[in-house]
Structure 1
Amino acid sequence: MPATTEPLIVHEHDVEAVPLPGGGSFLLLEDGRGTAGLLGVNRLVLPAGADGTRPHHHTLSTEVFHVLDGVMEFLVGGTVTRVGRGGLVVVPPGAIHAFGASAEGPAGFLAVLTPGVERFAYFRQLGRIARGEAGWESMDGLHDESDVHFDGGPDWR
């Protein structure tokens, strides 16, 4: 991938919000296009006790999570760990991980994926599924192109 030569600035009014049930949302900040594939960035806000994803791994990218609000629960290395506001989780390629908000209250994080993979279509479709507007089979094909490979069912905690 060619390196970007221009700085990237994303203003709040340019951020796409994908609504999720219970007041959650994906905030789509950068999916690699504006950085020539260097990184992708999104923010996820989840209501209390909501899962963000089931166990999965990425073959190409490292994923970095910075908890901004509340307490998140992360499955990494076969262990569920609670990470509060200000905490950081770094997941290298191939490491199986999952995450969700703790039962105590809503939580959210900033996620950085490097190198960046174009994943906005993936997050939009997850939003449709979560809102009952589409079925899980609508994700066929999106998993591989988004470098998301599932390693277990939804019951991880």
Structure 2
Amino acid sequence: MILADLFSMILRLAELAFAAIVAGLNGEYLHAVRNADSWQLGRHIYTEVLAGLSILLAIIWLFPFSGSFIHWPADFVISVAWFVAFGLLVDWLNGSCGYVFDWDGINFNGTASCSQWKATIAFAFLSAICWLASAILGIYWVRRHTAPVDGAYYRRRRWYRSTV
């Protein structure tokens, strides 16, 4: 199952990178509007907290131990939370920068308000997909390593381990 471990590490690195990008872009916006009412910034604060939690969990679960696969329920919950953040940010943008996934005419000249928000939304979506893929990989790994026997589940022995 070295392939599953490798794929899991790649997903965790992608989750870490995407969460860091969202945290940076969203944090820059929160810093720019630091005197605004916190109720108006609720969706951005939610996204920032979610990005911080994702960074923490991705670092903790980055190491390729078999125990990292049993966290698939948490991966699924975080994936749903990222999809919620994606929806909240798309709703906040509300077509003011054009269609959300229309990347024509984006420039990087330093005043990148629309470009910044489209990048934040895109990386939030990519993060949600990576967390969902981690959950699916975890479900696959857990199902593969436990099998029903007389209504009970047991952990399969490795072929090189003796029962003596």
With the shorter chain as reference, the TM-score category is: under 0.3
> Which has the larger Rg?
2
Greater RCO between the two (CA within 8 Å, min separation 6)? 2
More strand by share: 1
More helix by share: 2
TM-score norm. by structure 2 comes to 0.23
TM-score norm. by structure 1 comes to 0.23
